[in-house]
Amino acid sequence: MAKKWQKKADDEWSRVVRQVGYCEMCGSSTKQLHAHHIIGRANFAYRHDLSNGICLCASCHVFSKNSAHSNATFFYRWLKENRPGQWVWFREHTVEKKKMIGNTESISYAAIKTDHVGDEAEYNILKEM
């Protein structure tokens, strides 16, 4: 039963995020629009939070050299410069982790653990949008 509600909530979250109608990175209005989780969807507490979503075309989501999934550094820089409100939300819900790789400092972000409301409750909120 839990998987049923998770799938329904996932579908509704995606539908609402894609209502923007165009790629928020490149402006394309292609019919191949995806809903991208800024904090990975494995983090259940943020999985259906609309602040955690951005509408991207397939290229900006996964296929281009600087897509959100191929180049997280590029995506986070873009988010900070172009979606400051979502960047603030992201930083409020993550912890920055720095490490050195050779002579280069690498920064990654880990989600702050918090309670998950529940997929059925989240589905009911999203279906009204």
Cβ distance 57 to 30 under 8 Å?
yes
pTM given for the model = 0.86
Q: At what angle do helices 2-18 and 119-127 cross, to 10 degrees?
A: 30
Q: Torsion angle, CA of 118/124/127/129, rounded to 10 degrees?
A: -90
82-123 confidence digits (pLDDT tens): 999 999 999 999 998 888 888 887 788 889 888 887 887 887
CA atoms within 13 A on the CB side of 110: 5
Residue 3: CB atoms within 10 Å: 8
Q: Identify the band that residue 1 occupies on the pLDDT scale cut at 50, 70 and 90.
A: low
> What DSSP character marks residue 51?
G
- Domain locations in the chain? 2-127
